[in-house]
Amino acid sequence: MTECQTNHTPVVIVGGGQAGLSTAYCLKKKGIESIIFERYEKFHSWRNNRWDSFCLVTPNWQCRLPDFHYDREYGGTDPDGFMLKDEIVDYVDAFAEMSQPDLRENVEVTRVAPRKGGGFKVETSIGAWTCEHVVIATGGYDTPIEPPFAANLDPEVFQMHSVDYRNVDQFPVGGVLVVGTGQSGVQLMEDFVRAGRDVHLAVGPAPRSPRKYRGRDATDWLNDAGHYGITIAEHPDPLKAMRQTNHYMSGRDGGKEIDLRRFHVDHGVELYGSLADMNGSKLNFMPDLATNLDDADRSYMGIRNQIDAYIAREGIDAPEEPPFEKVWEPTTERTEIDLSKEGITSILWAIGFRPNYSWIEADVFDARGKPVFDRGVTAQKGLSFIGLGWLNTWGSGRFLGIEEDSRYLAEKIATQLGAVTKQVCHA
């Protein structure tokens, strides 16, 4: 197929999640055609990469797809609740039904490259397209992270990454070591606790958050205080914001906070520091358990103090809370264990993902392979990103910020296309 025979569309969107469909909807409202290419099926991550007991960590009211807010256009009846996995799928499917995008499912994009004279060529598993603008909406969860030393583990020990986890029945009888204490790690840890399993947890440096505080969900207070409206350009420490793991808490049982100290005291969860190495059945941990627990509590108290300051500043009548007290702290830290002696038969990795942008031929990535942009717009004309954390605000990688981000990007694309002479073939 010659370039003049290649299909053409003004905008190609790569990724059929909520970010991609939101962008397509906002472009459609401006009369701009787009095609979405999705490697699997729409909303694949929500359908297939979440465990059985998964629920939102943020309240349902934060689900604000463009012109399709949970408690407004969608008609959701529990704005302060936390949707379960199947309910989330129903919500995003309803948005797709409302927005009617030109969505090509089970199509893999293999190459995005600038064209001589402007625009891009997008190569896919069903052919090639040219376009003036490409929007990358694939998110940052392409490749599950497992440390290189995982290959040194005794092959008798069962291993799984959180992306493949559905329920505890997938795991053999015996104790389980969960590695990682981000939002996924602590919730999977609780899954095993509820099942009555012997649970061990390698505690990393993730921060934690209060859930209910002074009569309301902490996220409600933070929203009212304008916290979620702070842009990355206004943030006092943007580097820390972009690199920091999400605060852990839970939407389970109507919403609750997670205190790892209490899980140790109340449920016997064995806590260790960050996992450093493994060889056979022998594991080594960093001596940072106390530090990581203290840092998580410092974050927890920082949010409480921020809410207290807002309440005082606004003169709000809100109930007082008792001061925070540690229910336990380690007097010694175990830095070496033998899995066989501890009865641990499996390891669940919950240490995150990394993106894969190797198919994008554009000089828009930093030394760590992360895209560089201003509110999603890169220095490469016609190439943008959406659906990533801190694209503009805290909510950018979540349901909360996608409406604002997709409207902004659609406006930028409309401006660009208005200045472009549309041509399919070039000499």
CA–CA dist 252, 231 (Å, integer): 29
Terminal Cα-to-Cα distance of the chain (whole angstroms): 16
Final residue belonging to a domain, choices 294, 326, 349: 349
Mean pLDDT of 307-326: 97
Are residues 321 and 215 located together in one domain of the fold? yes
Are residues 384 and 400 located together in one domain of the fold? yes
Is residue 130 assigned to a domain? yes
pTM flag (> 0.85): yes
Name the nearest CA neighbour of 260 among 226, 292, 228.
Answer: 292
Are residues 99 and 239 located together in one domain of the fold? no
Contacts of 75 (CB under 8 A, 6+ apart): none
Is residue 426 assigned to a domain? no
Are residues 50 and 117 located together in one domain of the fold? yes
The answer to whether residue 395 scores a pLDDT higher than 70 is yes
CATH number, domain of 10, equals 3.50.50.60
As a whole number of Å, the CA-based R_g of the chain is 23
Is residue 424 assigned to a domain? no
CA–CA dist 49, 45 (Å, integer): 5
CA–CA dist 361, 141 (Å, integer): 20
Are residues 186 and 96 located together in one domain of the fold? no
Estimate to the nearest angstrom the gap between the alpha carbon of 27 and the chain centroid: 24
The answer to whether residue 35 scores a pLDDT higher than 60 is yes
Are residues 113 and 177 located together in one domain of the fold? no
Q: Give tens-digit pLDDT for 244-298.
A: 888 999 999 999 999 999 999 999 999 999 999 999 999 999 999 999 999 999 9
pLDDT band at 5 (very low <50, low <70, confident <90, very high): low
- The average confidence (pLDDT) of the chain is 94
Contacts of 411 (CB under 8 A, 6+ apart): 30
Are residues 14 and 129 located together in one domain of the fold? yes
The per-residue pLDDT for 292 is 98
The per-residue pLDDT for 239 is 86
Phi and psi at residue 424, to the nearest 5°: -90, -45
Is residue 371 assigned to a domain? yes
Compute, in degrees rounded to 10, the torsion defined by CA atoms 215, 58, 403, 88.
Answer: -130
What is the total count of domains within the chain?
2
Is residue 423 assigned to a domain? no
Name the nearest CA neighbour of 354 among 73, 198, 144, 68.
Answer: 144
Long-range contacts: 322-327, Cβ < 8 Å, 24+? Answer: 324/297, 324/300, 326/261, 326/297, 327/259, 327/261, 327/262, 327/265
The answer to whether residue 34 scores a pLDDT higher than 80 is yes
**CB distance 402 to 387 below 8 Å:** yes
Are residues 99 and 192 located together in one domain of the fold? no
Are residues 203 and 319 located together in one domain of the fold? yes
Is residue 174 assigned to a domain? yes
Are residues 343 and 361 located together in one domain of the fold? no
Q: Give tens-digit pLDDT for 331-356.
A: 999 999 999 999 999 999 999 998 99
The per-residue pLDDT for 421 is 40
Final residue belonging to a domain, choices 328, 349, 370: 349
Q: Give tens-digit pLDDT for 396-416.
A: 999 999 999 999 999 999 999
Domain span at 290:
144-349
**CB distance 240 to 405 below 8 Å:** no
Tokens 């920082």 belong to which residue? 302
Q: Give tens-digit pLDDT for 108-154.
A: 999 999 999 899 999 999 999 999 999 999 998 888 999 999 999 99
Is residue 192 assigned to a domain? yes
CA–CA dist 197, 188 (Å, integer): 12
Positive/negative CA dihedral, 37, 40, 41, 45: negative
Final residue belonging to a domain, choices 319, 349, 379: 349
Are residues 325 and 360 located together in one domain of the fold? no
Are residues 382 and 408 located together in one domain of the fold? yes
Per the structure block, which two tokens stand in for 149?
């030393």
